[in-house]
Amino acid sequence: MKQNESSLTSLISAFGRAYHSQFDEPKIFDDFIAKDLISEKEFLDISENMIQGIQFFNKGIAQKFQGERKKILKWITQVQLSPTPLARAAYCESVLLHEVTLGLKQYVILGAGLDTFCFRHPELKNSLQIFEVDHPSTQEFKKKRLENTAYDIPDHLHFVPMDFTREFSYQSLIDEGFENEKTFFSLLGVSYYLTKEENANLISHLFSKVPSGSSIVFDYADERLYEEKGISNRVENMVKMAAASGEPMKSCFSYEEIEKLLETSGLLIYEHLAPDAINDRFFRNRTDDLSAFESVHYIHAVKK
């Protein structure tokens, strides 16, 4: 991963969260800090690129909203860009905050990007150690962004530079103060880009040195990934865009495959949300275009 690639990926994700926080109602996930990590020029540039791409996303919508730039941008963000990042973040943080009430002390964010959890929950500064694990260039990019904001890096936030998709190192975590106690991991927007073997190896390594009761929330694509087109072909578009960006989607799983993968590492599925369940929990009764992505599932798994 190159500097500009990691920067762009994290910026687009932050853009989706910032857009939702500012323009959508009701909120699925309110990342009110995301906008502070994006410059006004970057927000406008990403918006313009999305608007210019409407012919790729949907020719009918391009014709229907011709000249109506705000409507085009809202349609693209709500249909294609934001549904999965918003709902999976909302789900993950609801599980995490429940774990905190049960005494959780350590949170490891794998592929953190421009994550803002630490800054949105300052009340946890004395009770939860947060470890952000990501590619070194992405972390440097984030640190520079934080330098331009009013947010100081608190003592309980630890940056752990690591390309964990290639090799996970517990020593790097330990060097930042990680201890062998109950831990919660989040792995969002990552499994798709790893092979099945790489996913299995990563999960195995993650849970090799943490005690019983430690858990993980992650999202994955089911076996329909390459067949399901989705609303306005958005699933097909997602696969095409990933391939065009040089980071093709490499894996999809049946529920039985995920269950077996987790069982091999000593984990049990505590909760599984299929697309219909995600839609019911996070998108019910909406009057806009936000809805759960077809073929994307969420899992909360716990070590026995």
34 CB neighbour count, 10 Å cutoff: 22
CB of 295 closer than 8 Å to CB of 222: yes
Q: With b meaning 16 or more CB within 10 Å and e meaning fewer, what string describes 182-219?
A: bbbbbbbbbbbbbeeebbbebbbebbeebeebbbbbbb
DSSP string across the chain = --HHHHHHHHHHHHHHHHHHHHH-SS-SS--TTGGGGS-HHHHHHHHHHHHHTHHHH-HHHHHHTTT-HHHHHHHHIIIIISHHHHHHHHHHHHHHHHHHHTT--EEEEET-TT--HHHH-GGGTTT-EEEEEE-HHHHHHHHHHHHTSS----TTEEEEE--TTT---HHHHHTTT--SS-EEEEE-S-GGGS-HHHHHHHHHHHTSSS-TT-EEEEEEEBTTTTT---GGGHHHHHHHHHHHTT------B-HHHHHHHHHHTTEEEEEEE-HHHHHHHHSTT-SSS--PPTTEEEEEEEE-
Rounded mean pLDDT for each run of 10 residues along the chain, 304 residues in total = 63 95 98 96 95 96 97 98 97 98 97 97 97 94 92 96 93 96 97 97 96 98 97 96 91 98 98 98 97 98 98
Q: What pLDDT score does 1 carry?
A: 47
| Residue 176 structure tokens | 């930042």
CB of 130 closer than 8 Å to CB of 158: yes
Q: What pLDDT score does 4 carry?
A: 55
Domains and CATH numbers, the chain: 3-81 (no CATH), 93-303 (3.40.50.150)
